[in-house]
């Protein structure tokens, strides 16, 4: 009997119970006084009933190739992608640990594409008190939208070959801090996340600012395989510089000393809406966001001379994916991906990028799949980030080893 294809929810049914919760992790955090109460609550855990932890190890990876046509010139190449070492351990009946360590190529976003790097993408300790309250501390994916909250770095679970373009512009990918979480509450399966963490200007080692980022997210799951979510993220970007926890890198944001860069503090707000629905034959994901950036009130007046009309921007992104199952092992899909960032923004360079894509996915097993995707890129070529006018054909093989 053929196994089910490795779409995200169905694949988890083929993975041991202790691993399933790894892929659907939600969290929530608060501040100083609440931190003390939180630690006291965690110390009240029930006794340990096993002699040793139950630990699961997995490794995810992918290999890809592409052919690109731009300005009547073809380019092609092969790539060894990220390899994700995924660990989950059940330490006590209520305490668990999850980590995700990546070995991957340094892309062209300011690094050498010939080298590889090691990065700890997640490392967090979770205390599950009840379904309506879990406490998580460490580095985690920010629960700002469905994609970032559900899909980890293993490309085996990605519905398309690449992430939405907004992950390179305004989505704060990681948070390092404290998170409170509730799930499956009431008839609508209500859930919430509240995160207090180091801001986007920090790194994994330290945060020199008292100002912390705040994420508040809610969702409902009115039916099986359906989730509707909304989130708010607020932060202060110090000196217009970002660190390890943002996806704002490379050509999309201003670098120190670059024309257009100003060493000012910025207020950063992000509002996200997500809708996910899966039926027997169809799968749909809609992600949209509104990002507002403006000059922070605590700036040195001498730094903002001439900037009073800048720094106040409203930026939008939208991503739409729809897939249709064909038989038991194949799926055809289409995607639309657009970003629109105003030229008044002092943090992210103005751009208007649009991508259309069609793809085919074949599942060899729950642990091996292939994807072929053809893409057309277009957009505004008169902004700071010039929209490419090109076509691209991508092929990827992704896998999971247990």
The whole-chain average pLDDT of the chain stands at 84
pLDDT tens-digit series, residues 35-60? 444 444 444 444 445 567 889 999 99
Cα 197 from Cα 308, distance rounded (Å): 30
Q: What does the pLDDT read at residue 253?
A: 80
Give the Cβ contact number of residue 233 at 10 Å.
26
Place of tokens 């939008």: 316
* CA proximity to 166, closest of 239, 249, 238: 249
Q: What does the pLDDT read at residue 247?
A: 62
Within 8 A by CB and 6+ apart from 197, the residues are 29, 142, 175, 176, 177, 178, 179, 212, 213, 215, 245
Q: What does the pLDDT read at residue 243?
A: 73
In a 13 Å sphere around the CA of 240, the CA atoms on its Cβ side amount to 23
pLDDT band with cut points at 50, 70 and 90 for residue 3: very low
- What secondary structure, in 3-state letters, does 236-289 show? EEHHHCCCCCCCCCHHHECCCCCCCCCCCCEEEEEEEEEEEEECCCEEEEEEEE
pLDDT over 50 (residue 29): no
Mean pLDDT lowest for which of 30-34, 221-225, 316-320, 396-400? 30-34
Q: What does the pLDDT read at residue 323?
A: 98
Q: What does the pLDDT read at residue 22?
A: 37
What are the backbone dihedrals phi and psi of residue 39, each rounded to the nearest 5 degrees, phi first? -65, -40
Cα 340 from Cα 347, distance rounded (Å): 14
* CA proximity to 392, closest of 165, 74, 81, 62: 74
- H runs (alpha helix) in 4-125: 8-12, 17-23, 32-43
Cα 315 from Cα 166, distance rounded (Å): 11
Domain ranges of the chain: 8-44+53-71+78-401
One of 2.40.160.10, 3.90.79.10, 3.40.47.40, 3.30.360.10 is the CATH number of 8-44+53-71+78-401, namely 2.40.160.10
pLDDT tens-digit series, residues 188-240? 999 999 999 998 888 888 787 788 999 999 999 999 999 999 999 999 988 88
Cα 315 from Cα 321, distance rounded (Å): 21
The structure's pTM equals 0.83
Identify the H or E element spanning 195. strand 190-197
What 3-state class would DSSP assign to 198?
Answer: coil
- When pLDDT is averaged across residues 108-137 and rounded to a whole number, the result is 81
Cα 291 from Cα 269, distance rounded (Å): 6
The alpha carbon of residue 355 and the mean position of all alpha carbons in its chain are separated, in whole angstroms, by: 19
Within 8 A by CB and 6+ apart from 145, the residues are 171, 229, 231, 272, 274, 287, 289
Give the Cβ contact number of residue 49 at 10 Å.
7
Cα 235 from Cα 198, distance rounded (Å): 9
* CA proximity to 349, closest of 146, 195, 168: 168
- When pLDDT is averaged across residues 143-162 and rounded to a whole number, the result is 93
pLDDT band with cut points at 50, 70 and 90 for residue 309: low
Q: What does the pLDDT read at residue 25?
A: 37
The answer to whether the CB of 194 falls within 8 A of the CB of 28 is yes
Place of tokens 């991503």: 319
pLDDT over 80 (residue 394): yes
What DSSP designation does 163 have?
Answer: -
Tokens read off for 375? 């893409």
pLDDT tens-digit series, residues 70-100? 999 999 999 998 899 999 999 999 999 999 9
CA dihedral (5, 7, 11, 13) in degrees, to 10, reads: -110
Q: What does the pLDDT read at residue 311?
A: 65
What 3-state class would DSSP assign to 214?
Answer: strand
């Amino acid at each position: 009997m053929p196994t089910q294809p490795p779409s995200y929810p169905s694949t988890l049914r083929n993975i041991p119970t202790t691993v399933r919760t790894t892929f659907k992790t939600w969290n929530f955090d608060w501040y100083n006084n609440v931190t003390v109460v939180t630690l006291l609550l965690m110390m009240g855990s029930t006794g340990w009933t096993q002699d040793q932890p139950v630990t699961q190890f997995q490794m995810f990876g992918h290999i890809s190739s592409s052919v690109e046509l731009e300005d009547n010139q073809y380019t092609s190449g092969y790539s060894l992608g990220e390899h994700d070492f995924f660990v989950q351990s059940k330490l006590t009946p209520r305490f668990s640990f999850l980590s995700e360590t990546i070995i991957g190529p340094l892309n062209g976003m300011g690094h050498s594409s010939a080298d590889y790097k090691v990065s700890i993408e997640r490392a967090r300790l979770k205390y599950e008190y009840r379904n309506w309250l879990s406490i998580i501390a460490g580095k985690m994916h920010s629960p700002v939208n469905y994609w970032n909250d559900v899909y980890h770095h293993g490309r085996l679970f990605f519905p398309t070959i690449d992430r939405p373009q907004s992950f390179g512009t305004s989505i704060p990918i990681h948070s390092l801090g404290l998170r409170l979480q509730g799930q499956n509450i009431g008839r609508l399966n209500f859930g919430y996340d509240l995160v207090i963490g180091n801001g986007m200007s920090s790194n994994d080692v330290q945060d020199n600012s008292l100002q912390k980022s705040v994420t508040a997210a809610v969702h409902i799951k009115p039916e099986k395989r359906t989730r509707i979510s909304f989130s708010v993220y607020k932060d202060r970007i110090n000196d217009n510089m970002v660190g390890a926890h943002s996806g704002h890198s490379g050509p999309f944001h201003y670098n120190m000393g670059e024309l257009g860069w100003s060493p000012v503090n910025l207020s950063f707000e992000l509002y996200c809406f997500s809708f996910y629905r899966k039926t027997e034959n169809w799968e749909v994901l809609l992600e949209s966001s509104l990002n507002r950036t403006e000059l922070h009130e605590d700036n040195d007046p001498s730094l903002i001379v001439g900037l009073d009309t800048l720094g106040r921007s409203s930026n939008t992104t939208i991503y739409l994916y729809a897939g249709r199952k064909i038989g038991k092992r194949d799926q055809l899909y289409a995607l639309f991906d657009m970003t629109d960032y105003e030229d008044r923004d002092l943090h992210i360079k103005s751009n208007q990028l649009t991508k259309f894509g069609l793809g085919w996915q074949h599942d060899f097993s729950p642990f091996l799949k292939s994807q072929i995707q053809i893409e057309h890129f277009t957009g505004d070529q008169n902004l700071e980030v010039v929209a490419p006018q090109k076509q691209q054909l991508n092929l990827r093989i992704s896998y999971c080893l247990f």
